Structure 1
Amino acid sequence: MKNVQPETLTLDRIATPVGEVLLVTDAEGAVRALDFSDYEARMMRLLGRHAPDAELVPGRSPEVVRKAVEAYFTGDARALDGLTVKTGGTAFQRSVWAALRDIPAGETRSYGQLAAAVGSPKAVRAAGLANGQNPIAVIVPCHRVIGANGALTGYAGGLERKKWLLAHEAAAL
């Protein structure tokens, strides 16, 4: 029987204007998770679903990834666009997360528009649930999804952060 070593992921901590972020990357530099430190338990739960056998070690992310995250929070709303992300999830969840990355910085979409973007216009609730299970906050910009009436709806990092992120992107552009 083959002895498979668990994947090692690096956990980095980066100070931002809206709190410390936890950034998890793999050996290839792909982002596996990002969340705010006060939501660490949520991030660990999602990471456990997407990389159940991974070993998480404290360390520093690859410089290109770290600098992109820092640049985003200091005013470059598009700094995260080129980063590679890697998640588990169902095919539907991954399609929703890919559609989130297609929403330009400074713009928003409704849950209905998100569902339509993945070819399932009647799956509004399912798109919303997938949005809420996104393990890579900010880089996979779930904060850019709002209610059909334009209201800011739930955000795993808190509505005040969602408001800040949207205003930050609008001001940066």
Structure 2
Amino acid sequence: MDLSLDEVESPIGVILLAVGGGAIHGLDFADHAPRLRGSLEARYGAVALHSAADTCGFSGRLRAYLGGDLGALTDVPFEPGGTVFQRRVWAEVRRIAPGSTRSYGEIAASLGQPSASRAVGLANGRNPVCLVIPCHRVVGAGGELTGYSAGIERKRWLLAHEGASGEAGERLLRL
């Protein structure tokens, strides 16, 4: 599969976007480029990434989000692949509004599987389009900032950027 690859500078590191067919297929931080490539190859086999600037305007939308337009990524087309369960988790995570958080257990319960919080965590950790599927908005049962594969400091920054409220926001203020 041939995909265009763009790099976007951000306060929390360079972000890579892999785009093809009018959709985002991968979004990750540059220091996790092997993970991005591995995710794409697991879904598509051999992948050719070609440098391109702002394919389909997605990089501009990412810059808008980083600049404070928290709804800029809401309706971007994306193709994450995944199992049926992962897609259900990711759809539920997409429902979390900017500045809000939900726990793994809350998501599991909303899916009708209240004992599946660990499976929700695993699915969340395999999200191939971070920020588009805002996995940083998922927190531990007590609001603790756990389980962000790109690093807790990035998760903290993203939640603060979005003006997180509730237990997660209070925890951010104490740190």
TM-score, L = length of structure 2: 0.89
1:17 to partner: Cα distance: 1.2
1:49 aligned counterpart, secondary structure: helix
Letter in 2 for 1:21: I
Shift of 1:63: 4.4
Q: Are 2:136 and 1:143 aligned?
A: yes
Task: Specify the SS of the correspondent of 1:170.
Answer: coil
Contact 1:11-1:23 at 8 Å conserved across structures? yes
Hey, what's the Cα distance between the residues in 2 that align with 1:80 and 1:129? 23
Equivalent residue in structure 1 for 2:6, among 8, 12, 34: 12
User: Pick from 16, 20, 45: which aligns with 1:22?
Assistant: 16
* Residues matched between the structures, number: 164
Between the aligned partners of 1:99 and 1:85, the Cα distance in structure 2 is: 15
Counterpart residue identity of residue 116, structure 2? A
SS at match of 1:35: strand
Amino acid at match of 1:86: E
| Paired residues of 1:12 and 1:61 also in contact (CA < 8 A) | yes
What residue is the counterpart of 2:86 in the other structure?
93
For 1:104 and 1:10, the matched residues in 2 are separated by 29
Q: Say whether the 8 Å CA contact 2:101–2:138 is kept in structure 1.
A: yes
Are 1:34 and 2:27 counterparts? yes
Percent of aligned pairs with the same amino acid: 46
Instruction: Give the letter aligned to residue 142 of structure 2.
Output: N
AA aligned to 1:9 is L
The one of 48, 58, 71 aligned to 2:41 = 48
Structure 2: distance between partners of 1:118 and 1:58: 39
Normalising by structure 1, we get a TM-score of: 0.90
**Residue 57 of structure 1 pairs with residue 38 of structure 2:** no
Are 1:25 and 1:61, in contact at CA under 8 Å, matched by a contact in 2?
no
Equivalent pair of 2:4/2:55 in contact (CA under 8 Å) = no
SS of equivalent to 1:120: coil
Alpha-carbon RMSD across the aligned residues, in angstroms, is: 1.3
Query: Secondary structure of the equivalent of 1:70?
Result: helix
1:111 aligns with 2:104: yes
Contact map agreement 1:97 1:134 (CA 8 A) in 2: yes
CA displacement 1:20-57 (0-9 Å, x = unmatched): 00001112x21111111111111111122222243222
